[in-house]
Structure 1
Amino acid sequence: MGIYGQDWSSYQPATPDTSGLSFAFVKITEGLGYVNPRWVSQRDHAKSAGLVWGGYHYPHMGNSVQAEADYFLGQVAWKPGDMVVLDWEGYDSANQGVSRGTQAAYKEAWLRYVKKQLPNNPVGMYANLEYWRNIDTTGFFGDFLWIATAGLPVGQPGIKAPWLFHQYSDSGVDHDYCHLASLADLRAWTLSFSQEADMPLTSSDIAAVASAVWNWSEPGPDPKHPVRVGAALGWMDAVHTKQNAALTQAVAEGAAAQAALSALAAAVGKAGGLTADQVTAAAQAGAAAALKELGHALDGMKP
C-alpha cells in the first residue's frame, strides 16, 4: 500500500509523464541566482493531471538564510495544499567549503523562517542518509521528512524517524514513495494545514462533513448489522413526528372538551341538581385520567 511520485528539475521536460503518479516535487530555485526555467510548466502540468504538488529550494549555505528563503518564496503564488521543501544537501562547490555546523544551523533557521511565512502550508525537508545521520544534530525536519536512500527497497529507508516520503531510486528520474494509502489521503493531509488556520468552510466542505456524519456507522447490538447514524436519526425524527402529531391532537381535543364542559356546567347550574363547581370537578378528574392514558401511548412510541 502507498502512492508514488517523482521529483523534477530542468533535467526533465516541461511536461513529464505523470502516468501512475500521485504527487510531484519540482525544483524552483538554487542559491540566490538560479530559477529552474521549466518549473512553472512542470507545476502546471502536475496540477492539471490531478497530482499533489510541492516546490523545493537547493541552498548555498554560506549565504543568508532569510535572503535565500525570500528569493525562493517570492517565485511562487503559493496555494493551499502546496508542499514547501528544503533540499538539504550540499555536494556542489558552493557548499563544500561550508562547515557542518553552519549547514546544520542553516537547515534549522530556513525551516523555521519559511514556516512563519507560510503557516498554512506543510513545510518539510529532503535529506539523504549521510546528511540525516552525520550532519543533522537535532532531528528537526519541520512538518515532514522526505528521505533519500541508495539501494534500499521502496518504503524501507532504514531510519527510525517518522518519514513521509522516500526517494528510493534515481535511475533516469528520481522516483518517490509516500506511505499514505491514497492520493485523496495525501491531498487531505496537505490541506489540513490551511484548515488549522480557521479558513472559512466552503459549501462543498460543509456538504462533505454532513455526508460523512450522516453515513457514519457504529457497531450495534448485532455486529453484522452496524447502526448508521443517518438511519437512526431518520427513525428518531419519524418517532418525534408521531409524538408531536399525537400531542397536537390531544391539545385540540382538550380545548374542545373544556369548552363543552363549561357549557355543560352552566346548563346544569341553571337546571338545578349538581352545581357548576361539582360538574367542573368531575370533568377535571376525567381529563386527568385521559392525560394519563395519553402518557402511556407516548411512552410506547419512545425509541
Structure 2
Amino acid sequence: MIQMPQALHSETMKTTPAQGRRGADAARTAGSDSTDGTAPRGRSAAPAAGRCDANLHDIQNSRHEDARAQRRKEEKRKALGIESTMTVTGIDVSSAQSEKYPTAGSDFVFIKVTEGTTYTNPKWVAQRKTARNAGLVTGFYHFARPGPVTSQVDFFLSKINLIEGDILILDWEDARVPNSWKDSWLKQVQQRTPGHKTLLYCNRDFWLHRDTTSFAGDGLWIAQYNNKPGQPDIHSAWLFHQHTDRPIDTSIGKFEDKAALHTWSGHVAIPA
C-alpha cells in the first residue's frame, strides 16, 4: 500500500518489512586578524608576539580537540561494526523533518524535492539552506509515480537552481513504476545535467526482484535496515547504504573520507 505524499521515508510504506524507506551556501570559515609584523606606534613588539603565541596555543588546542573527536567517532563506528575505510555518513530529510534539522556528525544530506508532477516538499528550500550553511554535500531527490517520464523530469529540474556538486536522485519505491521508467528518468537527468552525479535509491527487494538492468546512474543508494552499516545484503556495487531510520534516516557512504566524497561529487564551498 502506498501512502499519500509527505516525506520520502515517512510518507511511503516500506515495500518489505526488512527494507528501509526512507538535501552551498557553504560552511563559513573563521577569519583571523592579519598584521604586518610591526608594533603599533608607542608600543613594543612584545605584546604582539605574546598574542601570536596565544593564537598558536589556541590552534594547537583546536587540533587536539578535532583529533579526540575523530577518535571517538572511530570508536563508535567500530562498536557498530562499520568498516574502518568508510567514514562518511549522512541523512535524508523531507517534509516530515524540521527545516533546521541537526547536521552535527553528517557529511551529506539528501533532500526530497518533488513527487510525481503535483507535489513539492514545502520545506525543501529551507532544508537546503540548513545543509549548505553546514557545508554539507547536498543531494535532491524525486519520488517516482506512474505517468510520463519526461513530465516528471521537467517538474523536478524546474524546482532547482543547481550549483557544482549537487547530486540528483531518483527514489524508486512505487511498484507501479517499472524498471524501464526508472532507467529512462536517470538517463534523461544525466543528459540534461552534465557534470552532476545521479543516484538511484531503492530498497533491497526492488533491487533484487524488480530491477532487470542493474542501471543506477552514477551509483546505487540501497536501503536495508539490517543493523550492519556498510554491509547491505547484495552482491552488486553500491555507493550509499541506508541502514537505519532511528532517530532519522541515516546512510553511510562508500568513501574513504569526506574529501573523497567532495572529489566524487564535485562539491565546492560557496561563501555565505
In the superposition, the TM-score normalised over structure 1's length comes to 0.59
**1:152 CA drift (Å):** 3.9
Q: Which of structure 1's runs of 4+ aligned residues deviate more than 6 A?
A: none
- Of 165, 177, 181, the residue aligned with 1:106 is 181
User: 1:188 aligns to what?
Assistant: 263
CA displacement, residues 268-298 of structure 1 (integer Å, 9 cap, x when unaligned): xxxxxxxxxxxxxxxxxxxxxxxxxxxxxxx
Tell me how far apart the structure 2 counterparts of residues 38 and 184 of structure 1 sit (CA, whole Å): 28
After superposition, where does 1:72-151 map in structure 2 within 5 Å? 72-90=156-174, 98=176, 103-151=178-226
Residue identity (%): 38
Tell me how far apart the structure 1 counterparts of residues 235 and 227 of structure 2 sit (CA, whole Å): 14
CA displacement, residues 167-223 of structure 1 (integer Å, 9 cap, x when unaligned): 00012310110121221210111118x9xxxxxxxxxxxxxxxxxxxxxxxxxxxxx
2:226–2:232 CA contact under 8 A, matched in 1? no
Q: Is the partner of 2:266 in helix, strand or coil? A: helix
- Of 145, 154, 169, the residue aligned with 1:70 is 154
User: 1:157 aligns to what?
Assistant: 232
User: 1:35 aligns to what?
Assistant: 120
After superposition, where does 1:116-265 map in structure 2 within 5 Å? 116-191=191-266
Q: Which amino acid aligns with 1:156?
A: Q
Tell me how far apart the structure 2 counterparts of residues 44 and 64 of structure 1 sit (CA, whole Å): 31
Q: Is the partner of 1:127 in helix, strand or coil? A: strand
Q: Is the partner of 1:24 in helix, strand or coil? A: strand
- Of 78, 88, 96, the residue aligned with 1:11 is 96
Tell me how far apart the structure 2 counterparts of residues 172 and 109 of structure 1 sit (CA, whole Å): 34
User: 2:74 aligns to what?
Assistant: none
In the superposition, the TM-score normalised over structure 2's length comes to 0.65
CA displacement, residues 18-37 of structure 1 (integer Å, 9 cap, x when unaligned): 01000000000001000001
Higher helix fraction: Structure 1 or Structure 2?
Answer: 1
Tell me how far apart the structure 2 counterparts of residues 25 and 124 of structure 1 sit (CA, whole Å): 11
CA root-mean-square deviation = 1.4
CA displacement, residues 43-95 of structure 1 (integer Å, 9 cap, x when unaligned): 111011011000000011x21000001100110001110000000111xxxxx
Q: How many residues align?
A: 183
Tell me how far apart the structure 2 counterparts of residues 172 and 152 of structure 1 sit (CA, whole Å): 14
**1:150 CA drift (Å):** 2.2
Which segments of 5 or more consecutive residues in structure 2 lack a partner in the other structure? Answer: 1-83
